[in-house]
Structure 1
Amino acid sequence: MERLPPLPLSKSIEIAYKSIKVRFFRSLITTTSLVLAVAFLCYIQVCNNLANALFLTGEPTALQALVKAGFDITSQTTAIGEDAKQQWIVVLSLLVCVVGIVNAQLMAVTERFREIGTMKCLGALDRVVLLLFLIEAAMQGFVGATTGALLGCVSGILSSLSSLGTALFDSFPLQTLLLTMLKATLTGCLLSLVGVIYPAIKAARMEPVEAMRVEQ
Structure 2
Amino acid sequence: MQTIPEQGNVPWSTVIRTGLGGIRRRVGRTVVTMLGVVLAIALLSYMLATGNMTRSMTALNDPALNTLLQKAGVDILQMTGRDPSTTLLIVLSLATCLAGIVNSMLMSVSERLKEIGTMKCLGATDAFIVKIYFVESLFVGVLGTLCGMLTGLIVSLAVCGWNYGGFALRCFPVLNVLGSLAISFAVGVLISALAAMAPALWAAKQEPVSAMRIDE
Same fold (TM over 0.5): yes
Alignment RMSD: 1.5
- Name the structure 1 match of 2:17: 14
- Name the structure 1 match of 2:42: 39
Q: CA deviation at 1:69?
A: 0.6
Q: Name the aligned partner's letter for residue 54 of structure 2.
A: A
In 2, distance between residues paired with 1:53 and 1:12? Answer: 46
Provide the TM-score with structure 2 as the length reference: 0.93
- Name the structure 2 match of 1:197: 197
In 1, distance between residues paired with 2:94 and 2:9? Answer: 34
- When residues 80 and 67 of structure 1 are mapped into structure 2, their CA distance, relative to the original with a 3 A threshold, is farther
Query: Mapping of 1:134-173 within 5 angstroms?
Result: 134-173=134-173
Residue 57 in 1 paired to residue 45 in 2? no
* Identity in percent: 33
Note the alpha carbon deviations across 1:83-140, whole angstroms, 9 max, x for none: 1110001001100111111111111101101110001111111011001100111111
Query: Mapping of 1:102-113 within 5 angstroms?
Result: 102-113=102-113
- When residues 80 and 162 of structure 1 are mapped into structure 2, their CA distance, relative to the original with a 3 A threshold, is farther
In 2, distance between residues paired with 1:167 and 1:152? Answer: 19
Note the alpha carbon deviations across 1:67-91, whole angstroms, 9 max, x for none: 11101223xx3x4542111000100
Q: Name the aligned partner's letter for residue 109 of structure 1.
A: V
Note the alpha carbon deviations across 1:29-80, whole angstroms, 9 max, x for none: 1111101100011111111111011011122222221111101223xx3x45
Unaligned runs of 5+ in 2: none
The size of the alignment, in residue pairs, is: 212
Q: CA deviation at 1:146?
A: 0.4
Provide the TM-score with structure 1 as the length reference: 0.93
Q: Is the CA contact (8 Å cut-off) linking 1:49 and 1:81 kept in structure 2?
A: no
Q: CA deviation at 1:196?
A: 1.3
In 1, distance between residues paired with 2:178 and 2:24? Answer: 30
Q: Is the CA contact (8 Å cut-off) linking 1:45 and 1:82 kept in structure 2?
A: no
Q: Is the CA contact (8 Å cut-off) linking 1:51 and 1:80 kept in structure 2?
A: no
Q: Is the CA contact (8 Å cut-off) linking 1:49 and 1:177 kept in structure 2?
A: yes
- Name the structure 2 match of 1:183: 183
